[in-house]
Amino acid sequence: MPYTCSTTSIAVPPPLTPSRYVALAHTLLALALGATMFAFDFSGSGRSDGEYVSLGFFEREDLKVVVDFLRASERVSTIALWGRSMGAATALLHGDRDPSIAAMILDSPFADLTMLAEEMVDKGRESGLTVPGFVVSIAIRWIRSSVQKQAGFNINDLSPIAHADQCFIPALFVAGEGDDFIKHHHSQQIHEKYAGDKNLVIVEGDHNSPRPRFLFDSVTIFLQTYLQIPPDWSLPGADPYNNGYPPWQSGMHGFMGSSVARLDDVQMRMAGLDASFDDLNLGMTAERQHETQQALYNMLGAGGRVGNSPPADGPPGPEWACVMCTFINNGSSSACMACGTPKSQSAAAGDGGGAGGGVG
């Protein structure tokens, strides 16, 4: 949002499968405090260019660019980070190298990517899928090699918990008690190891649930304390929660919840948006969570369908080999589960038929 005075700023990295629009729910809280808010899309996400989402490894460089920009503007005094899911993991990966950050709100970060992948496999087993342990180990090693080759980083380095004991920025950790995607023990383990001032709040709901009013109240007190915002900067009479709505809508139930209200054209222009909320990428939804889990099972050669994930339309086609990395993909996959290359490119190269071999 535009800067109007020398003040504090809350930088909001987006969540997994992200878009900066999800930060609209926090706008009134920032304004009520007398702070500005800077929301952005990571490379490869939302409306930013880029081929890969690296779950925090390269995204921390995007975050550094944003922080450097805010400081160079000379309109910002102190900076806090507010991240959810991948955004929270990215803040942790950045925080130990930038102690000048005043505070961090870390909602549902994963502790370690390999740990998360293994837990997702365990969930698949609970749903009846059979994935032998040695297959999982082989697949993770293969994925690590493929990611290293295609994207230039080692997935073993995606371990926010490894940075926790080197980070001294005051941090408020948040986790959903019913989160079955990034279980709340990830936040608990990071919190236990974290070196700086810290607090952990477990809220009702899952990975995608809107957060309750009391958490917004806690965040307000936390930011007032560590950003040292003068009381006379606050917006009188403003409700930081506002039922999760942006400030141009007041007290309407449902935003960021199960039903998403549609803004009219005037409100969209005021917000600088050119699409309705129905058309926006609003972060990790339940459907995207199932897609992410299914992608992992496919990579591990498990096939099948997990939990309550929606079934594919019609029977799956034959397995196909990716023309870029040669990974053998499930027939229902529209893109390579290892490197993301569209299935159509492999078909055009003559590799769209039922190839054999590969992991699984």
- The per-residue pLDDT for 134 is 59
Q: Token pair 């998403």 is at which residue?
A: 260
Give the separation between CA 11 and CA 59, rounded to whole angstroms.
14
DSSP code at position 88: H
- The per-residue pLDDT for 328 is 67
Structure tokens that stand for 158 in this block: 């995606």
Exposure b/e, 82-117, CB count within 10 A at least 16 = b: bbbbbbbbbbbbbbbebeebbbbbbbbbbbbbbbbb
Q: Are strands 7-12 and 76-84 parallel, antiparallel or unpaired?
A: parallel
Which residues, in sequence order, are CB contacts of 62 under 8 Å at separation 6+? Answer: 13, 40, 42, 43, 48, 90
| Cα torsion through 10, 192, 117, 153, rounded to 10 | 60
- The per-residue pLDDT for 127 is 62
Which residues, in sequence order, are CB contacts of 199 under 8 Å at separation 6+? Answer: 171, 172, 173, 222
Residue 131's nearest CA partner among 148, 119, 114, 146 is 119
Strand locations in 100-241, DSSP E?
103-107, 171-176, 198-203
- The per-residue pLDDT for 334 is 76
The H helix count followed by the E strand count for the chain is 11, 8
- The per-residue pLDDT for 240 is 83
Q: How many Cβ atoms are within 10 Å of 313's Cβ, its own excluded?
A: 6
3-state secondary structure of 144: helix
Which residues, in sequence order, are CB contacts of 186 under 8 Å at separation 6+? Answer: 108, 109, 110, 111, 115, 116, 175
- The per-residue pLDDT for 133 is 63
pLDDT in tens, the chain (360 residues): 322 233 456 666 655 544 666 677 788 888 888 898 898 888 877 778 887 778 888 899 999 999 999 999 988 889 999 999 989 999 999 999 999 999 999 999 999 988 888 887 776 666 655 556 655 666 667 677 777 777 677 888 899 999 999 999 999 999 999 998 899 999 999 999 999 999 999 999 998 888 899 999 999 999 999 999 888 888 777 788 877 666 666 554 433 333 333 444 444 444 444 444 444 444 455 555 555 555 555 544 444 333 444 444 445 567 777 776 566 666 767 776 555 677 877 676 654 333 332 222
- The per-residue pLDDT for 278 is 44
Q: Which amino acid is at 262?
A: R
Q: Model's pTM, two decimal places?
A: 0.70
Structure tokens that stand for 331 in this block: 């027939």
- The per-residue pLDDT for 324 is 63
